[in-house]
Amino acid sequence: MNAKITSLDLSKDGKLLIASLRDDTIQLIDLRKNSIISTFSDEHFKLSCDWARASFSANAQKIACGSTDGLIYLWNLDGYVEATLKGHSIPLMRISSGEGGT
């Protein structure tokens, strides 16, 4: 990782870690293999600040992060954007999901 890390999030089973990076990417790391297994990005996705945070969904099957454009980006673990959620007019720094969230 060559960019500044803004946050880390550990999956509940302790096997996966996501790192939000200041180069506007998020990396998925398999801690058992000590390797990056996927990188998440989108041409419009921009981290809003040095403390912006990506999060696993409750079941650790999706990764979500807010962007400077006010959208929430949802990626699957293969690195593809599955959805963008609208509803904010300001940059998002952090989101979280509840126990029932996917």
- Identify the CATH class of 5-85: mainly beta
25 pLDDT above the threshold of 50: yes
Q: How many residues does the chain have?
A: 102
Show the tokens assigned to 99: 């126990």
pLDDT per residue as tens digits for the range 35-63: 999 999 999 998 877 777 899 988 889 99
For residues 59 and 82, the answer to whether their CB atoms sit within 8 Å is no
Domain regions of the chain by residue span: 5-85
